[in-house]
Amino acid sequence: MRPYDVVFEQALTRADPERIHHAAFRAIRAAGPLTRRAVRVPGAPVHAMGLRFPHPLGLAAGFDKNAVGIDGLAALGFGHVEVGTVTGEAQPGNPRPRLFRLTADRAIVNRMGFNNDGAEVVARRLTAWRDAHHERSRRAARRNGFATSPGAPPPILGVNIGKTKVVPEEEAARDYEKSAGLLAPHADYLVVNVSSPNTPGLRDLQAVEKLEPLLAAVRRRADEVRPHDRVPLLVKIAPDLSDDDVLAVADLAVASGLDGIIATNTTISRDGLASSADTVEATGAGGLSGRPLTHRSEAVVRMLRDRVGPDLTLIGVGGITTLDDARRRLAAGADLLQAYTAFVYEGPLWPRRIVRGLAADA
């Protein structure tokens, strides 16, 4: 048993998961200056959406909702970090408790409800983050006697945007447009999240007749604020969509010129869990992530790839825990991978293990 497993079983499982998350994230941020100096993880670069990713593995949205620890997370070995979900207006999210572990299933149930500081605050934070990277680059140039120096490049940054809870469905496009206008200037890629189960009515926006005008509105706004530097746009979908609806989203993505699809978000299903019925019932409603999603998420990626062809970028997320899981998701057609729950259960060294294993395959 690894040291992290002992700590997790003996200590972390005995405390409130949300409190542990915040404590662990504070430690990651505090260690950032040291972990940035660690030996870089070798990986096989991936070229997708006009971007060069250092390797396939990234951190899914949900861990860093407010863009406060990007560098610390990247230093652990993630090749890209997706922040958010960010909404047009700040909101506290759902009442606590709202985060639960199903340890027998290596799964997490959350009903966080898009708790975040809002697009305006996150945009200011990302401006400061970019400025800090430029300043570090300038200092490195002066130390080395060069006029300019690229320094250590910032990690690839995705920004995931969602709907503010109090905004009615008929005004959803305006809310997403606000976030896109504020955040697209700072993002390497932008994600429209219409698949969280924790905002009432949000998943209804996955229906193509609603999704098409929403994506068009976000695309227009992103192009307005970045007229000479097109930001890639993706949509994140749920594993609970029927196969026909998955294919309909795939067709829409191709027809509308979308840059990619992230598959998949959390599930509302509780089928086939190892945890007792009483334990599952006690967690209540919310999106389930982790090992139970492995097969469905892989199947959705495979369906999407068969439908969209080789050019559209697919990011596979959901139930990727082992190196074999990562290999299978790539073989199913994913260009890039993301994880969250495995990071919680496997610990801070997990990203580097997966990246090294994938690099050895290359």
Structural domain contains residue 137: no
Asked if the model's pLDDT at residue 17 lies above 50, the reply is: yes
Mean model confidence pLDDT for the chain? 91
Q: Was 115 annotated as part of a binding site?
A: no
Q: Was 63 annotated as part of a binding site?
A: yes
Count of domains forming the chain: 1
pLDDT at 179: 98
| Average pLDDT score over residue span 231-241 | 96
Q: Was 165 annotated as part of a binding site?
A: no
| Average pLDDT score over residue span 320-326 | 98
Residue reference for tokens 């490195």: 140
Q: Was 294 annotated as part of a binding site?
A: no
Structural domain contains residue 134: no
70-117: per-residue pLDDT in tens? 999 999 999 999 999 999 999 999 999 999 999 999 999 999 999 999
DSSP per-residue letters across 137-185: HHHHHHHHT-S----SPPPEEEEEEE--TTS-GGGHHHHHHHHHHHHGG
Closest CA to 186 of 132, 236, 237, 253: 132
pLDDT at 137: 72
CATH value at residue 239: 3.20.20.70
Structural domain contains residue 135: no
- 148-156's contacts with Cβ under 8 Å and 24+ in sequence apart are 152/36, 154/70, 154/71, 154/74, 154/129, 154/130, 155/70, 155/71, 155/73, 155/74, 155/78, 155/79, 155/80, 155/81, 156/51, 156/53, 156/54, 156/58, 156/79, 156/80, 156/81, 156/188, 156/189
pLDDT at 211: 94
| Average pLDDT score over residue span 140-159 | 70
| Average pLDDT score over residue span 211-221 | 96
Range of the domain at 115: 3-126+156-361
Structural domain contains residue 226: yes
Collapse the DSSP code of 338 into the 3-class scheme (helix H, G, I; strand E, B; otherwise coil) and give the result. strand
Structural domain contains residue 64: yes
Structural domain contains residue 162: yes
> pTM of the full predicted structure?
0.93
**Which is more confident, 2 or 133?**
133
Tokens at 7, concatenated: 């700590």
Active site residues: 196
Q: Was 181 annotated as part of a binding site?
A: no
Q: Widest CA span of the chain, in angstroms? A: 65
Structural domain contains residue 140: no
Collapse the DSSP code of 95 into the 3-class scheme (helix H, G, I; strand E, B; otherwise coil) and give the result. coil
Give the single-character DSSP code of 104: G
Structural domain contains residue 146: no
Collapse the DSSP code of 195 into the 3-class scheme (helix H, G, I; strand E, B; otherwise coil) and give the result. coil
Residue 4: band (very low, low, confident or very high) from pLDDT cuts 50, 70, 90:
low
Tokens at 4, concatenated: 């992290």
